[in-house]
């Protein structure tokens, strides 16, 4: 957690629409109960998917969450997008607390927050043509008449590099990269403010990944978008994001400007992720070994620092006391880490 809690605006003011962060996430928590089969099955455990996550995303920036598979980043995205209800915490979008928004206004908010999913094939309706898929949010949100909807569909199809002559084809008639272009076109068609991209590259061939990444960067400028980019791939995150949060077992363990994170990572988990990147590790002195061992189960996170069973720097203190996410010393403004020994000058036991 930061040194002080986020400054939560209790009252909505019109200025808040254009001032302040576009998205503010405060202490968001989402756990899932596991039950025995049957209507009244006993609770057998709790998956602590997301715990006490706070951050802000500013207009026009790309903010990324990075972490290994199962760290809770996709649950976080779906809780922010109101696909899952939060157990605790608040999400503010453009100055409005989502919990206070009426059902009618929530529809308008959903138009302004669009998602791009990991699996473009699974997220596209196989019985709809590419044109119908791209136009669907325009129809749902009653944006323009049929002529205007067709015009916007062609416009965004061209913007994402699709051949408009192919728009009457079905998803299975496109390649994986083209399907992701359709998914991106659908996301930007209703002119959203925030695009949540949940592992948008991981189902694509390596050769296609950089094309999609470059496309997203170009569209950000053209469509005036803010991105919340979720990925396990630190190299991709480095290419697109201005700020990065590193997630481990449902919690943010480090957050900083991308440049600061790569130059001066303070959490051993972040250091290990960076050291494992081939283009950084190759030919240069590695700062730490790649994370050893498996991620512990979110059903039973370790006591103390959740990273301690895998941490090469773990001390006795780490096994009993969980470090808070706090400002790190002698670092750039906004650099936070959850490690008892994030200060390089603090002697270890």
Residues engaged in binding ligand SF4 (CB under 6 A) = 267-268, 305, 307-308, 311, 313-315, 318, 323, 339-341
CB nearer ligand SF4, residue 232 or residue 308: 308
Cβ proximity of 126 and 171 under 8 Å: yes
Nearer to ligand SF4, 141 or 313 (CB): 313
* CB of residue 323 to ligand SF4, shortest distance in Å: 5
Report how far residue 188's alpha carbon sits from residue 191's, in angstroms, rounded to the nearest whole number.
5
The residue (of 15 and 348) whose beta carbon lies closer to ligand SF4 is 348
Measured from the CB atom, the residue of 77 and 311 that comes closer to ligand SF4 is: 311
Distance CA 331, CA 265 (A): 10
Cβ of residue 307: shortest distance to ligand SF4, in angstroms? 5
Considering the complex, state which of residue 30 and residue 267 has its C-beta at the smaller distance from ligand SF4: 267
Smallest gap from residue 328 Cβ to ligand SF4 (A): 11
**Given the complex with ligand SF4, which of 152 and 340 has the nearer CB atom?**
340
Residue 242 Cβ vs ligand SF4, minimum distance, rounded to whole Å: 25
User: What spatial distance separates the first Cα and last Cα of the chain, rounded to whole Å?
Assistant: 24
CB of 308 to ligand SF4, least distance (A): 4
Q: How far apart are CA 121 and CA 117, in angstroms?
A: 10
- Least spacing, CB of residue 318 vs ligand SF4, in Å: 3
Residue 5 CB partners (closer than 8 Å, separation 6+):
26, 27, 54
Contact criterion met (CB below 8 Å) for 2 and 325 = yes
Cβ neighbours of residue 191 closer than 8 Å, sequence gap 6 or more: 143, 223
The answer to whether the beta carbons of residues 128 and 170 sit under 8 Å apart is: yes
CB 111 within 8 A of CB 192: yes
HSE, CB side, 13 Å, CA atoms: give it for residue 91. 25
């Amino acid at each position: 957690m930061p040194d002080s809690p986020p400054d939560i605006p209790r009252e909505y003011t019109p200025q808040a629409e254009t001032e302040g962060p576009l998205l503010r996430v405060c202490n968001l928590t989402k756990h899932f109960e596991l039950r025995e089969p049957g209507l009244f099955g006993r609770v057998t455990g709790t998956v602590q998917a997301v715990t006490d996550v706070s951050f802000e995303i500013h207009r026009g920036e790309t903010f990324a969450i990075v972490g290994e598979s199962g760290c809770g980043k996709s649950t976080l995205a779906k809780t922010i997008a109101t696909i899952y209800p939060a157990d605790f915490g608040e999400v503010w979008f453009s100055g409005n607390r989502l919990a206070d928004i009426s059902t009618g206004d929530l529809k308008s908010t959903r138009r302004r927050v669009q998602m791009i999913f990991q699996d473009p094939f699974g997220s596209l309706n196989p019985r709809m043509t590419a044109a119908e898929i791209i136009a669907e949010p325009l129809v749902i949100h009653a944006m323009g008449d049929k002529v205007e909807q067709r015009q916007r569909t062609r416009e965004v199809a061209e913007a994402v590099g699709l051949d408009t002559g192919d728009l009457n084809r079905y998803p299975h008639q496109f390649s994986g990269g083209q399907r992701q272009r359709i998914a991106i076109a659908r996301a930007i068609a209703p002119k959203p403010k925030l695009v949540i991209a949940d592992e948008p590259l991981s189902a694509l061939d390596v050769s296609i990944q950089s094309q999609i990444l470059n496309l997203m960067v170009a569209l950000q400028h053209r469509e005036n978008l803010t991105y919340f980019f979720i990925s396990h791939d630190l190299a991709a995150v480095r290419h697109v994001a201005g700020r990065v949060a590193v997630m481990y077992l449902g919690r943010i363990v480090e957050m900083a400007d991308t440049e600061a994170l790569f130059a001066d990572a303070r959490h051993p988990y972040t250091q290990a992720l960076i050291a494992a990147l081939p283009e950084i590790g190759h030919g240069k002195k590695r700062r730490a070994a790649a994370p050893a061992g498996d991620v512990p189960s979110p059903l039973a996170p370790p006591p103390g620092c959740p990273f301690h069973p895998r941490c090469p720097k773990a001390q006795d203190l780490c096994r009993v006391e969980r470090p808070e996410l706090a400002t790190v010393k002698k670092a750039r403004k906004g650099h936070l880490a959850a490690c008892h020994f994030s200060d390089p000058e603090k002697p270890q036991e």
